[in-house]
Amino acid sequence: MTLQEQIRANRLRSGIVVFGFLLLLLLVAGLIGAIFNLSLGIVALAGAAIYALFALLQNRSMIARMTGAQEVDPHQIEPLRRIVENVSIAAGLPVTPEVRIVDDPAPNAFAAGLRPQSSYLGVTTGLLRTMPKRELEAVIGHEISHVRHRDTYLMTMATIFAGVIALVADIGFRMLIFGGGRSRRGGGGALVAVLAIVGLLLAPYAALLLRMSLSRRREFLADAGSAEILNDPEAMALALRRLQLDTTTVQYADASVAHLWVESPTSRVETERTGVSALSGLFDTHPPLDKRIAALEQAGGFTTPETLPAHDPFGVELGLA
Amino acid sequence: MLWLWILIGVLVVLAALAVYGYNRLVRLRNEVGVGWGNIEAQLQRRADLIPNLVESVRGYAAHERGVFDEVTEARTALQQAGSPANAAQADAGLTTALGKLFAVAEAYPDLKASENFSQLQDELTDTEDKISAARRYYNATVMSFNTAIQSFPWVLFARALGFREREFFSAEGDTAAPQVSFATST
């Protein structure tokens, strides 16, 4: 699949995602309408539309808040900025994305933004403290590939809509509990109410599923993209192995978006939920990471060592570690 | 009547394929152009750093005239290089000349300690990294473009439509897709 085909396929998928979420949203609003009354459903729909619009306009800062990514003085992280610049040049991006730092001990990174021109990368201090330069470049290459493939666009859309649906379902559910049965219906009213409650409970998970179903294959593609940009598949495999060996858990500062979610499941889903196309599943010791390494090994014709040689992490150059 | 419709259908499909294929070639050619622009920008940046560098070394080692001349000539050659292959050749020549300049600088601890010199050296290293990054992108775009116009059926029409194969940015002895070792660039 060439880059252009990849980008086009992502545009199409983005369209499908938006459509799917709109359907879900209509369903949730319909349920609210069915339990209470029709005008309330319309109000919920209008509220959701306004929220989605606001989130679209504010997506940069919204995702920054969700992940705890902070803007830093470019001079302070000059060596890191240089890496991002060089990788962007090698990827042929029209601009170099801005770099933001997440103060978190877990090694991870993400890319966000609707267009390459407005996208930025988030890098945890943990990543800088863990990775030597060569592997850090590979991770940056992975994120830059997400930007280049327009994965970030797709993921941002998916995140926003998942958030909207969770919010609307949550409000509906609360009204149900605290507002009591305000529906003055006879006969099948109880059955409708039960169905509606189940629907409202499940909607956010349906949104999450939709969102997660999108992310599997594009991680492989971003790995391949990084290997291609840097002409170094081994570096990406080494970086993945290092992440695999790392046991630090993520502690994303994401309490500020807790209201969007009904409850937070495992940390794995939590990173997925933060919405950005992070190197998701980095902390899994499960097949995915192994599979990703195996795919790179097959493409590059090398084997990754089980244990990694000690290296000076890149953070030293930035005065970290 | 049926045959007429089939004929029209085939023609429409062929026309659609031709439009798609032609637009694809144009897009690929434009990407090559962007890639070359990136390289030129970085080469220019490298050339711009040279005079200051030469001056700062000259301040300590005025008698090493041969080396300065060589660097300056290599810089001029790079700025006058027209084709990608020539530019790559000239760029490699400049690298050799700069190697000699830095070898001279080694003998002057004061020079090496000066902040101006180390900053120039640092910027030069950065520019060289960027040239190699831009080269990887450019060569990849050239590869897709050349493959596209060498493939059937475009190999029959490409020349007539003004699509010419592009040169890789690689000096003699380089491979078309250079293996860049990042382990050594730290």
**What does the domain layout of chain A look like in residue ranges?**
3-62+155-213, 68-150+215-318
Tell me the pLDDT tens digit for each residue of A223-233. Answer: 888 888 888 88
The β-bridge relationship of strands A120-124 and A109-112 is antiparallel
d(CA A108, CA A119): 17
Partner-chain residue, chosen from A85, A91, A230, that has the shortest CB–CB distance to B182: A230
Quote the pLDDT of residue A127: 85
Gap from A237 CA to chain B (nearest CA, Å): 14
Burial of A220 (0-12, 13-18, 19+ CB in 10 A): middle
Torsion region of A281: left, alpha or beta (phi above 0 gives left; psi -120 to 50 gives alpha): left
Contact between chains at A90 and B35 (C-beta distance less than 8 A):
no
Tell me the pLDDT tens digit for each residue of B119-129. Answer: 888 889 889 98
Residues of B in contact with A137 (CB under 8 A): 182
Quote the pLDDT of residue A282: 36
Asked if B123 reaches chain A (Cβ–Cβ under 8 Å), the answer is no
For residue B131 the two structure tokens come to 């040239």
Query: Which DSSP letter does residue B169 get?
Result: S
Work out the average pLDDT over A158-171. 74
Residue of A nearest to B141 (CA): A92
Quote the pLDDT of residue B185: 32
Q: Please name every residue paired with A100 in a beta bridge, in sequence order, or none if there are none.
A: A71, A122
Q: How many CB pairs under 8 A join A and B?
A: 49
| Best residue in B26, B137, B138, B168 for a mutation probing chain A (most A CBs within 10 Å) | B137
Higher pLDDT, B20 or A44: B20
Q: Hey, which residues 40-59 in chain B have their CB within 8 Å of chain A?
A: 42
Residues of A in contact with B170 (CB under 8 A): none
Residues 6+ apart with CB under 8 A from A292: A219, A220, A223, A240
Gap from A75 CA to chain B (nearest CA, Å): 14
d(CA A130, CA A248): 11
pLDDT over threshold 50, residue A3: yes
Confidence of residue A262 (pLDDT cuts 50, 70, 90): very low
Work out the average pLDDT over A3-20. 73
Confidence of residue A273 (pLDDT cuts 50, 70, 90): very low
Confidence of residue B7 (pLDDT cuts 50, 70, 90): very high
Quote the pLDDT of residue A71: 84
Work out the average pLDDT over A261-279. 36
Contact between chains at A90 and B144 (C-beta distance less than 8 A):
no
For residue A235 the two structure tokens come to 């570096």
Determine what percent of chain A is predicted with pLDDT higher than 70. 72
For residue A225 the two structure tokens come to 């993209």
SS (H, E, C) chain A: CCHHHHHHHHHHHHHHHHHHHHHHHHHHHHHHHHHCCHHHHHHHHHHHHHHHHHHHHCHHHHHHHHHCEEECCCCCCHHHHHHHHHHHHHHCCCCCCEEEEECCCCCCEEEECCCHHHCEEEEEHHHHHHCCHHHHHHHHHHHHHHHHCCHHHHHHHHHHHHHHHHHHHHHHHHHHHHHCCCCCCCCCHHHHHHHHHHHHHHHHHHHHHHHHHCHHHHHHHHHHHHHHHHCCHHHHHHHHHHHHHCCCCCCCCCHHHHHHCCCCCCHHHHHHHCCCCCCCCCCCCCHHHHHHHHHHHHHHCCCCCCCCCCCCCHHHHHCCC
pLDDT over threshold 50, residue A299: yes
Which domains, ranges and CATH numbers included, belong to chain B?
Answer: 10-157 (1.20.1440.20)
Query: What single letter denotes the amino acid at residue A188?
Result: G
Work out the average pLDDT over B10-23. 92
- Buried b / exposed e across A171-190, counting CB within 10 Å, b at 16+? bbbebbeeeeeebeeeeeee
Q: A133-148 and A78-91 are packed helices; what angle lies between their axes, rounded to 10 degrees?
A: 50
Residues 6+ apart with CB under 8 A from A249: A106, A267, A283
For residue B89 the two structure tokens come to 């050749």
Residues of A in contact with B27 (CB under 8 A): 4
Kindly write down the DSSP assignment for every residue of B62-91, as one continuous string: TT-HHHHHHHHHHHHHHHH--SHHHHHHHH
pLDDT over threshold 50, residue B175: no
Instruction: Yes or no: say if A169 and A228 are a contact pair by the CB < 8 Å rule.
Output: no
d(CA A243, CA A282): 6
Tell me the pLDDT tens digit for each residue of A14-54. Answer: 777 778 777 877 877 777 777 777 777 777 778 878 887 88
Quote the pLDDT of residue A253: 41
Asked if B176 reaches chain A (Cβ–Cβ under 8 Å), the answer is no
Residue for token pair 């000349």: B97
ipTM: 0.75
Contact between chains at A4 and B27 (C-beta distance less than 8 A):
yes
Residues of B in contact with A86 (CB under 8 A): 129-130, 133
Confidence of residue A303 (pLDDT cuts 50, 70, 90): confident
> What's the mean per-residue pLDDT of chain A?
72
Confidence of residue A207 (pLDDT cuts 50, 70, 90): low
pLDDT over threshold 80, residue A131: yes
pTM > 0.80: yes or no: no
Confidence of residue A211 (pLDDT cuts 50, 70, 90): low
Gap from A90 CA to chain B (nearest CA, Å): 4
Partner-chain residue, chosen from A2, A89, A231, that has the shortest CB–CB distance to B130: A89
Which of A41-55, A228-242, A261-275 has the lowest average pLDDT?
A261-275
Gap from B75 CA to chain A (nearest CA, Å): 23
Gap from B27 CA to chain A (nearest CA, Å): 10
Quote the pLDDT of residue B172: 59
Work out the average pLDDT over A216-227. 79
- Cα–Cα distances (Å) from A16 to A4, A7, A154, A158, in that order, read 18, 14, 10, 10
Higher pLDDT, A321 or A63: A63
Tell me the pLDDT tens digit for each residue of A132-150. Answer: 888 899 999 998 988 888 8
Residue of A nearest to B122 (CA): A79
Catalytically annotated residues of A? 143
Quote the pLDDT of residue A84: 92
- Cα B27 from chain centre: 19
Quote the pLDDT of residue A212: 61
Higher pLDDT, A185 or A229: A229
Tell me the pLDDT tens digit for each residue of A96-117. Answer: 898 988 887 777 888 888 888 8
Quote the pLDDT of residue A302: 77
Contact between chains at B141 and A92 (C-beta distance less than 8 A):
yes
Confidence of residue A268 (pLDDT cuts 50, 70, 90): very low
Higher pLDDT, A281 or B154: B154
